[in-house]
Chain A
């Protein structure tokens, strides 16, 4: 996730671009840059936050320009790799958010034609492609350049040959137009320019637009000009950084169709029937794996438990999940085992200590994290990014689903290399993964039903979450979300364990949330619900769309799209996130900053 901005107007572009980038900083902040157009492209880039960029910013003249704040995915964090990128003739500047999947092929062919590359990013090819297609009209050049690109992108470009114009285009990544007075804007979201205008024109997938200080032109997928009306955004400035959502947590829950897409995209290929990571990661996953340890804390630990089910199911390799704070001092070290460390921030102190301990014991180490350049990525042998963008709500939401998916991809990768998964089976899994964003969106679209159930839970003193198999750790996560933001005592149990103790705590006023999937555990789960009902509590079942029986057993039912597959747990997690959010909201809790908790725990 990166943030991009374009401006054509009457103000000093310098100031507008810096201002807007600060608003987009939540989308990434490892490096940033701007290019202001005035006779030539005046470029200034810096590693670090926007503050750094602003500090020694030259006094560029000009009222047209582009800007970028980066969250690295391809290429290290460096000034060269920061955007904007220029074409070989230095006339065209571009900023890009997204991933160009065929960039190495494009780069090779452009190099042969004599184009000079000055960065390791996938994005730079776009600048050269635009130069190649340029024939006096920038929007046309962008249109034809992007025809050659596969992947997903939002880009903004300017050219010294057309000094008043800024061109934007998007496919699967966000870009909106801000319609101002004697000025117009492009931005990754409305926040970027809300200070200057609250009139917005939405750009659809596959469209290209050209703005000047006076007008806005939009071209559809066939490069035909279309008309579109402005809409007025009624957000408060304070709401704006939450994209209009009342809390960061809710915004981040609603980010998930996008973040889920980002984890998968570029890593799986339906056509090649393959799963790809970078070389270092692939080397780690290839060679003689006898066992795997996954080490993590809190929510990441629950993602790891889900990972255990997936890896064991798809590869047959035994997996031990350890809590970082325990693994530091106890447990076994084995040079032949791979230690996967899962940490959102890459800075969790207990996890870092566990990682160092593993490394010092000679284990191979792999980090799954959201933050490139974090301490964990520097210690481990290799790392995989969850690419979720910054998460601000203390309760992890989108990073949890992304962690599960990364672990799922690891399981698939090992499964393939151990010949445990056939091509057809892999095709089916990949197909299901690709459908996930749609399924998550389905849950979000029906969140009012979850709100209704939340009303039943809001006065409970204690709530049980039960599930079997992969749904056991999902139950743990459901309970964790509820307790950490609503302060209701909640516990997750393996459904079969209830009768071995927890039943003693079950009373008529203890609601039980049960995950019922149509797999081998279905009948057992129905039996467990029966046991629970016999003791009087209300049961809330999380069940598949086509489960027509479940109403007979449960008091309330929340549905998720049918799909008895490795990835079905993701929509269920989203239901639990929304459930916890609504309960906490009904109880008037401080959702983004629960008492006694911090986002990144850097103490022991």
Chain B
């Protein structure tokens, strides 16, 4: 059976991280979101994949190639233009018969893949606390009756998880699908048509983690790190404390006085320490430097970035190739302990998180003793001058002096 993964989207709601990579290529626990899905699907027994790509497709292709590294076959289809999920799935008509298809930016577990594979004409569903942001699903026993668009007052907490097992028939309905009010061809519209002729079985998903906004990456990161096993390939000097499950990549050196509390993953060729503190749920990419008197917790630091001197980084995402100046610090908790609001793409959003630090794009440099307030979002290639205070949304290529 072929597995089609939709990986064409830009992910505008994950700006600034998606200015330089498609959403599915954002790293969580040092692997792109898409790779977690690939691994879970492979573990569930799938060997043939089709990635529907589009936005910055060359990054997906150059990372995954033809799948040799994972001992599977990966084929690509370019969506051409982002016209919606039905349009994306319609792309693979000539390449599949009975197939499963999933949104590549949501992480599905191995057992869920197995359950979906087993049951022809099925859909993965999830119960969530706040269903307002999702497609609502009406059920009759085990079968789906209708999928509704986002609702302000949803009648159920069961939502569409974004993974399906279709037969070739779905293409008849995709062909008939008209543009939705928001101007896209939605697979949910095709499904609603199909349900009238064919039963669609509901399968409740056990592991499901979607990423809508950047701070959801921290939740996904935490969830994945909980499942890792300890593995140390790098060099560990004396007088170091490593507690819990920690992965240390090859050619990485952990220097004297480092205190690492797992789960933590550290990539290859990094310099960690001396005298630093890395706390749980932290992912550090390849070629990074975490230096003296630095503390990092619950954060993602992408490849080639430095947190080198007297820094505090908590509940934050640091893009690739960033450098924090000595003493640059991140605030991650409001003094009144209220939930943190951010401004993203010019819109104010309540993150519903009590703790959130900075979301930093690629190639950002900060000067000494600069301060980033809770929920600051900094675009790519920004230049934060010494002693500056950063709050709100800073657009790419800005200079804060």
Contacts and interface: CB of A to CB of B under 8 A. Distances in A.
A in complex with B: yes
Interface of A: 10-11, 180-183, 195-199, 232
B75 A181 contact: yes
Contacts of B304: none
Interface string B85-118: 0000001001100000000000000000000000
B77 A182 contact: yes
A10 B80 CA distance: 12
Contacts of A181: 53, 75-78
B81 interface: yes
B78 A197 contact: yes
Contacts of A11: 80, 91
B57 interface: yes
B58 A232 contact: yes
Contact of A195 (B53, B75, B81): B81
Interface in B28-86: 53, 57-58, 75-78, 80-81
Given A198-B57, A198-B58, A199-B58, A10 B78 contact: no
A477 B139 CA distance: 74
Quick one: which of A182, A183, A195 has the most chain B CB within 10 A? A182
Contacts of B80: 11, 195-196
Nearest to A213: B94
A494 B77 CA distance: 62
B194 to A, nearest CB: 22
16 contacts: A10-B77, A10-B94, A11-B80, A11-B91, A180-B78, A181-B53, A181-B75, A181-B76, A181-B77, A182-B75, A182-B94, A195-B80, A196-B80, A197-B57, A197-B78, A198-B58
Contacts of A183: 78
A229 B76 CA distance: 19
A186 to B, nearest CB: 16
Nearest to B90: A11
Contacts of B91: 11
Quick one: which of A181, A198, A232 has the most chain B CB within 10 A? A181
Contacts of A198: 57-58
A197 B91 CA distance: 14
A291 B91 CA distance: 66
A141 B111 CA distance: 56
Interface of B: 53, 57-58, 75-78, 80-81, 91, 94-95
A42 B11 CA distance: 40
Contacts of A196: 78, 80
A195 B57 CA distance: 11
A458 to B, nearest CB: 22
Describe B's contact surface by its main secondary structure: mixed
Contacts of A180: 78
A198 B95 CA distance: 22
Contacts of B78: 180-181, 183, 196-197
Contacts of A182: 75-77, 94-95
A101 to B, nearest CB: 38
Given A11-B91, A198-B57, 6 more contacts: A10-B94, A180-B78, A182-B77, A196-B78, A198-B58, A199-B58
Contacts of B81: 195
Nearest to A15: B80
Contacts of A195: 80-81
Nearest to B76: A181
Contacts of B77: 10, 181-182
Contacts of A232: 58
Contacts of B95: 10, 182
A10 B94 CA distance: 7
A258 to B, nearest CB: 29
B77 to A, nearest CB: 6
B75 to A, nearest CB: 7
Contacts of A199: 58
A215 to B, nearest CB: 15
A196 B55 CA distance: 10
A169 to B, nearest CB: 26
Nearest to A195: B80
A246 to B, nearest CB: 16
B20 to A, nearest CB: 12
B49 to A, nearest CB: 12
B176 to A, nearest CB: 15
A180 B78 CA distance: 8
A180 B57 CA distance: 11
Contacts of A197: 57, 78
B93 to A, nearest CB: 8
A181 B53 CA distance: 10
A199 B77 CA distance: 13
Nearest to A232: B58
B170 to A, nearest CB: 17
A267 to B, nearest CB: 41
A365 B53 CA distance: 57
A196 B81 CA distance: 8
The 3 closest A-B pairs by CB, nearest first: A181-B76, A10-B94, A196-B80
Nearest to B78: A196
A447 B58 CA distance: 32
Nearest to A181: B76
B79 to A, nearest CB: 9
A232 B60 CA distance: 13
B9 to A, nearest CB: 15
Nearest to B51: A181
Contacts of B76: 181-182
A28 to B, nearest CB: 24
A180 B76 CA distance: 9
Nearest to B56: A198
A195 B95 CA distance: 21
A182 B58 CA distance: 15
A202 to B, nearest CB: 17
Contacts of B53: 181
Contacts of A10: 77, 94-95
A182 B96 CA distance: 13
A523 to B, nearest CB: 52
A279 B94 CA distance: 54
A133 B94 CA distance: 34
Nearest to B94: A10
Quick one: which of B77, B80, B91 has the most chain A CB within 10 A? B80
A199 B53 CA distance: 13
B308 to A, nearest CB: 31
B275 to A, nearest CB: 42
A199 B57 CA distance: 10
Nearest to A16: B80
A365 to B, nearest CB: 48
A231 to B, nearest CB: 11
A232 B76 CA distance: 16
A196 B82 CA distance: 11
A196 B80 CA distance: 4
Contacts of B75: 181-182
A545 B75 CA distance: 55
Nearest to B57: A198
